[in-house]
Amino acid sequence: MKPAPFEYRAPESLEAALDLMAEHGSEAKLLAGGQSLIPVMNFRLAQPAILVDLNRIEALDYLRPQDDGSLRIGGLTRLRQVERMADLPRHSALLAEALPWVAHPQIRNRSTVGGTLSHADPAAEVPAVCLVEGARFRLARKGGERWVPAADFFRGLFDTALEPDEILVEVELPAPRERTGTSFQEIARRHGDYAMAGVAASLRFASDGRIDEGSLVFLSVADTPLVASEASAMLAGEAPSESLFEAVARHAATAEVDPAGTIHATPDFTRHLVGVLTRRALAAAAKRANGEGETT
Ligand SMILES: Cc1cc2nc3c(=O)[nH]c(=O)nc-3n(C[C@H](O)[C@H](O)[C@H](O)COP(=O)(O)OP(=O)(O)OC[C@H]3O[C@@H](n4cnc5c(N)ncnc54)[C@H](O)[C@@H]3O)c2cc1C
């Protein structure tokens, strides 16, 4: 299929792009890596009158480590560039572990951070990571901007808090916290395929060795990345143990996720995967929080 006719604009500054979005609103679509938008346009599921190509806006392409240990990433930064940042694990071990799961290197060479977040595919890895990390997103529009926490950004299937005239210009990942371990686990039929199920997990220990805070976010089990707040709450105040992780995994799989099933996985099989992945993720995160084994 070929896309419906459209007007193509390639502004060279953020201001010019924001002007175009203010003028054309929902008639326009932003083009970043094109890895999702172009297929969608070719199938004519999207028929924008105007395509606003962000690729000439160099000011949106950066990785900026901050003095406080947080990391700021420009909306147009390619996933491969983030993955190759030498000290990425020091800023977000979880993101470093998750990125190689996103499609293939060729696709990550084009896909952008802003694109994968704005597209809001419930099977995408980076949104789940941003939720566990407590990231926030800077959304710009002509004459203003606002910060939106990841927790308020993902609204529904391919739906976000972005207004039609807004551009996601920056992601802020907060500095890693002490005594915290993370883990990203996923099952896909072949490497590079979208996840049949996946989980991003984080455990923070208190000084007495108990779990201070746990966070579990699942992908590919709902219309959005799913924040498992009940299972996460079961971890707080408890001593880490296999039996605790087993109980949390069982609760997540049976009570918190409600997968619709796909041609590759029935709802029951998806629940099974959620249980297995949760156990693995919590065990790995606990080891890392204790400084055992590998650090990512
Ligand atoms: C074969 C294949 C396999 C894939 N597998 C995976 C996978 O396993 N996991 C995964 O997460 N993804 C996967 N993807 C998707 C890929 O990562 C996409 O690139 C990504 O989802 C969209 O990023 P993009 O930069 O290409 O955005 P585009 O395709 O250019 O845009 C996507 C949407 O976001 C909007 N948009 C883009 N940038 C911005 C911005 N800065 N502000 C506001 N709106 C914006 C666009 O208007 C459009 O609606 C796969 C893609 C392919 C082709």
pLDDT in tens, 209-259: 999 999 999 999 999 999 999 999 999 999 999 999 999 999 999 999 999
pLDDT at 122: 96
Mean pLDDT of 21-46: 96
In the chain, % of residues over pLDDT 90:
94
Task: Return the residue whose CA atom lies nearest to atom 21 of ligand 1.
Answer: 116
pLDDT in tens, 164-188: 999 999 999 999 999 999 999 999 9
Does the C-beta of 33 come closer than 6 Å to ligand 1? Answer: yes
Task: Return the residue whose CA atom lies nearest to atom 46 of ligand 1.
Answer: 30
* CATH number, domain 7-52: 3.30.43.10
In the chain, % of residues over pLDDT 70:
99
Q: Is the pLDDT of residue 291 over 90?
A: no
Atom of ligand 1 nearest to the CA of 38: 29
Name the band, by pLDDT with cuts 50, 70 and 90, for residue 295: very low
Cα(115) to centroid(ligand 1), Å: 4
Rounded CA separation 58/16 (Å): 13
pLDDT at 64: 98
Closest by alpha carbon to 127, among 56, 179, 199, 189? 199
Does the C-beta of 35 come closer than 6 Å to ligand 1? Answer: yes
Rounded CA separation 36/51 (Å): 14
Q: Is the pLDDT of residue 193 over 50?
A: yes
Stretch(es) of the chain classified as CATH 3.30.43.10: 7-52
Task: Return the residue whose CA atom lies nearest to atom 48 of ligand 1.
Answer: 37
DSSP classification of residue 92:
-
pLDDT at 293: 60
CATH 3.40.718.10 holds for 180-289: no
pLDDT at 296: 45
Mean pLDDT of 91-111: 97
Model confidence, pTM: 0.97
Q: Is the pLDDT of residue 142 over 90?
A: yes
Rounded CA separation 287/296 (Å): 10
Rounded CA separation 284/200 (Å): 11
For tokens 């390639």, what's the residue?
Answer: 10
The whole-chain average pLDDT of the chain stands at 96
Stretch(es) of the chain classified as CATH 3.30.465.10: 59-173
The class that CATH gives domain 59-173 is alpha beta
Name the band, by pLDDT with cuts 50, 70 and 90, for residue 292: confident
Atom of ligand 1 nearest to the CA of 31: 30
Mean pLDDT of 154-162: 97
Buried/exposed 55-73: b ≥16 CB within 10 Å, e otherwise? eebeebbebebeeeebbbb
